[in-house]
A and B are shown apart, each in its own frame.
Chain A
Amino acid sequence: MHAYLEFEKGLAEIEGKAEELRAMARTNDGMDVEAEAKALDKKAAALLKELYGSLTPWQKCQVARHPDRPHCIDYIDALFTDYTPLAGDRNFADDHAVMGGLARLDDAPVMVIGLEKGSDTRSRLDRNFGMARPEGYRKAIRLMDLADRFGLPVITLIDTPGAYPGKGAEERGQAEAIARSTEKCLNLKVPLVSVITGEGGSGGAVAFATADRLAMLEHSVYSVISPEGCASILWKDAEKMREAAEALRLTAQDLEQLGVIDRIVKEPLGGAQRDRRATIEAVRKALPKLLDEVRELPADELIRLRRRKYLDMGSKALVA
């Protein structure tokens, strides 16, 4: 059963009706509903195209958070071979919101690190809904450091509401851990390629996404604050998240225009959640291309260009 989003209600009705008709036909022999069902299918397809052709920023936030989108774990399973998970920050704990390890991408060894939200109640709790704690960022730093020393390119996959706002996380230096992780990204002597696959939640995402090449899935978002958070602070009304989402310019399309991201990876019609395989395939195609753009650069040049890229950020405004 497909999980529909609030703005897909009309679509849910049409697709539900078609499904009902077909179910009826299956139980009643000789009943022919196919013509009618097909007409409904066509209507649904047209509506889907219309909806996804003009998603509002807030709708994109909802799509980006859709529970059926492929997660880090799915990409790692499908795109990499010899995945060898590594664990722990060697200091306090192993944060399950951050997964990563050695792996091969097209046979070449790499380090893959990602934020995993989990896909059912148990795994979501285990993964803390993709919200990392300091030990998660410190684990990422450790893995990046390892990659650095062995000359392995780093690939990060980002999907997080943000860093975890908890008592223990603060006590153990959440801010410091994020700052060091961003610093590590900037210092890497090996290429770093990132893909935001769902939510790029604020500092929790920056710590992984400060990359040589940053791509975003078509309907993913990357923002300094959630639209709900922004609405409650600036509009003093959390219900104004639509306006906030609009104002924040958090869509992949706006971010490309601002020069914050390098590439948009197209999603199948109806979003990544409708066709997980096609989405994963799209990322499979995009990754090596992104990596090839920076793979041959010598270390000092790589670092220089990466720093230049971030220093120059903000020189492009949006067209009014």
Chain B
Amino acid sequence: MNWISNYVRPKINSLFSRREVPENLWTKCPDCGQMLFHRELADALNVCPNCNSHMYISPRRRFEALFDGGLYMDVAVPEPLADPLHFRDKKRYADRLKDARRESEAPDAMLVAEGEIGRMKTVVAIQDYKFMSGSMGMYVGNAFIAAAERAVALKCPLVVFTAAGGARMQEGILSLMQMPRTTVAVQMLKEAGLPYIVVLTHATTGGVTASYAMLGDVQIAEPNALICFAGPRVIEQTIRETLPEGFQRAEYLLDHGMLDMVVDRKSLRRELGRVLHLLMKAPPMVAGDLPPPSEPALPPAEPAAEPAAAGPAAAGPAADTAAKAPDAPARAEGAEKP
């Protein structure tokens, strides 16, 4: 028995799991159809090198790309009441939520972290479109408020990356109430005199656009991101005509005065850093990639926050470990929540 369970079974398992690997090696760009090698795509932060299509990127990858040396700490988010309406459509909301949590290994559609951008302490909240379309419910509201409170406590800026299909219907009116709730959080920052920067990513719609996503001191968007209140399909049904090319895309919004700039993902870190340093009246950020801070310059976050210590880039100056394993798990260890 021991021989079978210790030797034969792992062998068989490894044979099967190995077969799945080649499927993930190549990704087809949804816009230009180019086949992209996973390593190349990951290095480009999931932007197609051929057509500049900005594809989905996970919040963890974004945190890593954004913070100095890829180092950051999670900010704890208070758990809201689970399924307060006992909502059920074809499926129970409680089950949908459980499935989404299992699939994404994240607690909900927004993650919050603190770290440094060009040595400037910054709190960053990132909405995850893959988690139930990034929809805004009580948890996202709590995450946003926790992010704002942390920024106020640290006297540092808040940067929010938005992406959402809108409010989370399964939480009914309580999802709608996240609009005023998050707006209160934005006011906390404004009153503390701290910058609040919004980066709109594909797609940001509905109640999220109509609350914190449009209240930034500086509004940035990724190229071609769909940004709207009512989606194009709803509008087409209402006015019964086809909409112009590029309607409700980032560049269109820029033309209509709704944004300050459209910035490629690979330039985001530098642009954000510059804006933050200007608004915080700090000296200019040093160009280029900064190594990770040698000392943990940040005070510990809330007691429940777990430091994301050992991300691939956390190896610091001996960063060749990271170079050797660029496809190392994008998620920082120790960042998992119950």
Flag whether B238 is at the interface (Cβ < 8 A).
Answer: yes
Q: A311-B145, A318-B86 are in contact. Are A167 and B235 (CB under 8 A)?
A: yes
| B177:A249 contact, CB within 8 angstroms | no
Contacts of B239 in A (CB 8 A): 166-167
Return the contact of A223 from the options B145, B176, B180, B234 (Cβ within 8 A). B176
Q: Which of A17-25, A139-147, A171-179, A290-298 contacts B (4 or more CB under 8 A)?
A: A171-179
Residues from 79 to 112 in B contacting A, C-beta threshold 8 Å? 80-81, 84-90
Query: Is there contact, CB below 8 Å, between B206 and A203?
Result: yes
**A179 proximity list for chain B (CB < 8 A):** 179, 183, 209-215
Measured between beta carbons, the chain A residues less than 8 angstroms from B229 are 163, 165, 169-170, 174-175, 178, 203
- Measured between alpha carbons, how far is A244 from B90 in the docked complex, in Å? 10
A186–B169 touching, CB < 8 Å = no
How many angstroms between the C-alpha atoms of A169 and B212 in the bound complex?
A: 19
Chain A residues whose CB sits within 8 angstroms of the CB of B210 once the complex forms: 163, 174-176, 178-179, 182, 203, 206-207
Q: Does B186 contact A (CB under 8 A)?
A: yes
Set B90, B183, B184, B207: member contacting A224, Cβ < 8 A: B207
* A279 on the B face (CB < 8 A): no
- Segment 164-211 of B: residues with Cβ below 8 Å from A: 167, 169-177, 179-181, 183-184, 186-187, 206-207, 209-211
A266 at the interface (CB under 8 A from B): no
A62 within 8 A of B: no
Determine the chain B residues whose CB is within 8 A of the CB of A316 once the complex forms: 84
Q: Nearest Cβ distance between residue A148 and chain B, in whole angstroms?
A: 15
Q: Which residues of A contact B235 (CB under 8 A)?
A: 165-167, 170
Residue A276 lies at the interface, judged by CB distance under 8 Å to chain B: no
- Among residues 24 to 48 in chain B, which have CB atoms less than 8 Å away from a CB atom of chain A? none
Distance from B52 Cβ to chain A, minimum over Cβ atoms (Å)? 24
A58 in the interface (beta carbon within 8 A):
no
Q: Does B324 contact A (CB under 8 A)?
A: no
A166 and B238 form a contact (CB under 8 A): yes
Which of A36-44, A73-81, A229-237 binds B?
A229-237
Determine if B81 and A317 form an interchain contact, defined as CB atoms under 8 angstroms apart: yes
Contact A187 B84, beta carbon cutoff 8 Å: no
Complex-state Cα separation, A234 to B89, whole angstroms:
6
Asked if A250 lies at the interface with its beta carbon under 8 angstroms from chain B, I say yes
State the Cβ distance, B159 to closest chain A Cβ, in Å: 18
Does residue A258 face the partner (Cβ distance < 8 Å to B)?
yes
Known: A203-B176, A258-B84. A167 touches B247 (CB 8 A): yes
Query: What string of 1s and 0s marks CB contacts (under 8 Å) between A205-241 and chain B?
Result: 0110010000000000011110000100111000000
Question: Quick check: A182 and B173 within 8 Å, CB to CB?
Answer: no
Which of A183, A233, A234 makes the CB contact (< 8 A) with B183? A183
What 0/1 readout, one digit per residue, does chain B (129-144) give for beta carbons within 8 Å of chain A?
0000000001001000
The reply to whether the CB of A260 lies closer than 8 angstroms to some CB of chain B is yes
Q: Does B258 sit at the interface, judged by CB under 8 A?
A: yes
Q: A274 on the interface (CB 8 Å rule)?
A: no
Write the nearest CB–CB distance from B246 to chain A, whole angstroms.
12
Contact B258 A176 (CB under 8 A): yes
Q: Known A249-B173, A307-B184; judge A314-B141 contact (CB<8 A).
A: yes
- Contacts of A171 on B, CB cut-off 8 Å? 256
Map CB proximity to B onto A300-320 as digits: 1 under 8 Å, 0 otherwise.
000000010011011111101
B278 CB–A CB distance under 8 Å? no
- With a cutoff of 8 Å between Cβ atoms, the chain A residues found around residue B174 in the complex are 258, 260, 313-314
How far in angstroms is the closest Cβ of chain B from A240? Answer: 8
Chain B min CB distance to A211 (Å): 10
Tell me if B228 is interfacial: C-beta within 8 Å of chain A: yes
Complex CA gap A318/B172 in Å reads 12
| A253 contacts across to B, CB distance below 8 A | none
Encode contact with B along A233-270: 1 for CB under 8 Å, 0 otherwise.
11100000001100111100001001010000000000
Q: List B contacts of A207 (CB < 8 A).
A: 210
Of the residues B88, B177, B213, B243, contact of A310 by C-beta under 8 Å: B177
Whether B279 sits at the interface, judged by CB under 8 Å, is: no
- A174 adjacent to B173 (CB under 8 Å): no
Write out the residue numbers on chain A whose beta carbons fall within 8 Å of the beta carbon of B213. Answer: 175, 179
On whether A311 and B211 interact (CB within 8 A), knowing A166-B239, A247-B87, the answer reads no
Asked whether B90 lies within 8 Å of A182 as measured between CB atoms, the reply is: no
Is B248 interfacial (CB-CB < 8 Å)?
A: yes
Which residues of the other chain, B, contact A178 by a CB distance below 8 angstroms? Answer: 210-211, 229
A224 touches B173 (CB 8 A): yes
| B286: chain A residues within 8 A (beta carbon) | none
**Which residue among A165, A244, A307 has the maximum number of chain B CB atoms within 10 Å of its CB?**
A165
Are B90 and A225 within 8 A (Cβ)?
Answer: no
List residues of chain B with CB within 8 A of the CB of A119.
none
Which residue of B169, B183, B228 is within 8 Å of A182 (Cβ)? Answer: B183
B230 within 8 A of A: yes
**Chain B residues with CB under 8 A of A165:** 229-230, 234-235, 238
Residues of chain B lying within 8 A (CB to CB) of residue A235: 89-90
28 chain-A/chain-B pairs, Cβ below 8 angstroms: A165-B230, A165-B238, A166-B238, A169-B229, A169-B230, A170-B230, A170-B247, A170-B248, A174-B230, A175-B210, A179-B183, A180-B214, A183-B187, A186-B187, A202-B176, A202-B207, A203-B206, A203-B207, A222-B173, A224-B171, A230-B169, A233-B169, A234-B90, A247-B172, A248-B173, A249-B85, A258-B173, A318-B85
Interface residues in chain A, defined as those with a beta carbon under 8 Å from any beta carbon in chain B: 163, 165-167, 169-176, 178-180, 182-183, 185-187, 202-203, 206-207, 210, 222-225, 230, 233-235, 243-244, 247-250, 255, 258, 260, 307, 310-311, 313-318, 320
Which 10 residue pairs of A and B lie closest in terms of their CB atoms, listed nearest first?
A165-B230, A175-B209, A175-B229, A234-B89, A317-B84, A178-B210, A224-B176, A176-B214, A175-B210, A174-B229
Given A175-B210, A175-B229, A260-B174, 7 more A-B residue pairs with CB atoms under 8 Å apart are: A163-B210, A165-B229, A175-B228, A182-B180, A203-B179, A314-B177, A317-B81
